[in-house]
């Protein structure tokens, strides 16, 4: 959520930001809704102040054993007006907040302008894709030959876009999770968290998933399966006042993630690129405002090191204004090379949300000067486990159908190849 003063004092900044994001949100409507809320609040405050003043006067008269009937009659009138005004105020406030919560974060100045991923700008590459002496297969073809992923039985259990990991497939997924957690905790200094997978509505709202993306969430009895560990990790400190000495806070969590993938029908139907349930290792940081730019670079490099140690070629791109996420001010995507598809595919998004999430979740810190400020929050996949498995199958496939295991992963996997 943005600082309301941006709407009240600098609406042109908001309009320009929405133009860059190719959003049709009506800022002028928001201004009028906010004015109405403030007008009702002012009237309500005036009546409450008058009632308080009259109540004191009634007390004085009664102490003197004087009649206060006229004042009591006026207080009763005010009470009736307050009841009506409070109801009108709540309706006006809820109407405004319903729309205000749909306003995305302000973009950083260096975010490239563009409608979609075609405007993303490549920042750097690590290693060039290797040449194969044979036509490389896609991961689901490799997996079928090795009998390590089962889509048909998963569909029987749960429907489309689910998978059963079998044998060495399950073993490889587990090895990757442990490898990533060890790297981020032992080398990068993150504290491991194992959070709940089910959260309340306001928790999803706190990180910006709701109300905008409510159609993509799995709901059960008024609670929701998490789409990413970012949701519980950020909200761990919901409505808390941290101390400056606590920052930065760095958390890592492995969780399953659940998404309906609304609006993505027909995309990546084959394989495990786009699933309703998938595994991810997530990185989250809480920092002081002046430290969040540096923290974004650090967090991105932490995620990159996973791919470097596994010997997987990748590139880093900065997302354009039309491709960036709702809560993000700036995002780097890490895209791993998939030879079977002959293209780079996203395996991690690393974002600085600045104080956007902290305002929604009310997460502040107190500095040495006792001044209270909102923290900045950052998040990134460290990395998507299933897509990492895909990248290993495709980059390490051999002509005989087997798959080598990256050297750094052998101690976790327990052998040097599959097949």
Positions marked active-site:
259, 274, 346, 349, 387
Nearest to 210 by CA among 326, 309, 367, 362: 326
The C-alpha atoms of residue 169 and residue 34 are separated, in whole angstroms, by 54
Residue 139 near residue 362 (C-beta atoms within 8 A) = no
**Quick check: 376 and 288 in contact, CB under 8 A?**
yes
In angstroms, the CA 240 to CA 260 distance is 31
Cβ contacts of 310 within 8 Å, gap of 6 or more: 388, 391, 392, 406, 408, 409
How far is it between the farthest Cα atoms of the chain?
A: 105
Q: Which residues of 219-238 are buried (b: 16+ CB within 10 A; e: fewer)?
A: eeeeebbbbbbbbbbbbbbb
Find out whether 337 and 391 touch, Cβ atoms under 8 Å. yes
Whole-number Å distance between alpha carbons of 382 and 370: 35
Q: Which residues of 62-94 are buried (b: 16+ CB within 10 A; e: fewer)?
A: eeeeeebeebeebbeebeeebeebeeebeebbe
CA dihedral over 78, 95, 13, 351, signed as positive or negative: positive
Structure tokens at 42: 């002012």
Rounded alpha-carbon distances, angstroms, from residue 112 to 1, 115, 335 = 22, 10, 18
Whether residue 272 contacts residue 140, with contact meaning beta carbons closer than 8 Å, is answered with yes
CA angle (187, 317, 107) in 5-degree steps: 100
């Amino acid at each position: 959520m943005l600082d309301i003063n941006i709407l009240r004092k600098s609406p042109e900044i908001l309009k320009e930001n929405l133009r860059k994001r190719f959003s049709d949100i009506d800022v002028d409507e928001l201004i009028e809704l906010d004015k109405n809320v403030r007008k009702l609040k002012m009237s309500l405050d005036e009546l409450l102040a008058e009632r308080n003043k009259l109540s004191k006067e009634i007390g004085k008269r009664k102490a003197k054993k004087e009649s206060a009937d006229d004042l009591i009659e006026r207080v009763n009138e005010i009470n009736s007006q307050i009841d009506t005004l409070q109801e009108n105020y709540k309706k006006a406030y809820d109407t405004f907040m319903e729309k205000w919560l749909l306003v995305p974060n302000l973009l950083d100045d260096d975010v490239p302008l563009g409608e979609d991923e075609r405007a993303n700008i490549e920042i750097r590459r690590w290693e060039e894709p290797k040449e194969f002496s044979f036509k490389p297969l896609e991961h689901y073809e490799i997996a079928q030959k090795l009998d390590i992923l089962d889509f048909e039985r998963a569909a029987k259990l749960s429907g489309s876009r689910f998978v059963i990991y079998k044998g060495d497939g399950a073993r490889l997924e587990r090895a990757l999770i442990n490898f990533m957690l060890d790297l981020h905790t032992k080398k990068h200094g993150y504290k491991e968290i194992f959070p709940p997978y089910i959260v309340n509505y306001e928790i999803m709202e706190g990180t910006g998933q709701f109300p905008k993306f409510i159609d993509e969430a799995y709901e059960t009895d008024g609670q929701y399966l998490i789409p990413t560990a970012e949701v519980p990790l950020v909200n761990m400190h919901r409505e808390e006042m941290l101390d400056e000495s606590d920052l930065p806070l760095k958390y890592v969590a492995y969780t399953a993630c659940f998404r309906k993938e609304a609006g993505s029908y027909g995309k990546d139907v084959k394989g495990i690129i786009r699933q309703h349930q998938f595994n991810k290792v997530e990185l989250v940081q809480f920092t002081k405002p002046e430290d969040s730019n540096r923290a974004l670079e650090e967090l991105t490099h932490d995620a990159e090191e996973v791919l470097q140690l596994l010997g997987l070629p990748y590139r880093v791109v900065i997302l354009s204004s039309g491709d960036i996420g709702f809560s993000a001010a700036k995002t780097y995507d890490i895209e791993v090379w998939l030879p079977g598809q002959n293209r780079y595919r996203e395996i991690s998004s690393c974002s600085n949300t600045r104080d956007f999430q902290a305002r929604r979740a009310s997460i502040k810190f107190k500095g040495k000067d006792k001044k209270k400020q909102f923290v900045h929050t950052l998040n990134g996949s460290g990395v998507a486990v299933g897509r990492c498995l895909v990248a290993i199958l495709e980059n390490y496939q051999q002509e005989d159908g087997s798959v080598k295991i990256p050297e750094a992963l052998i101690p976790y996997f327990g052998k040097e190849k599959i097949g």
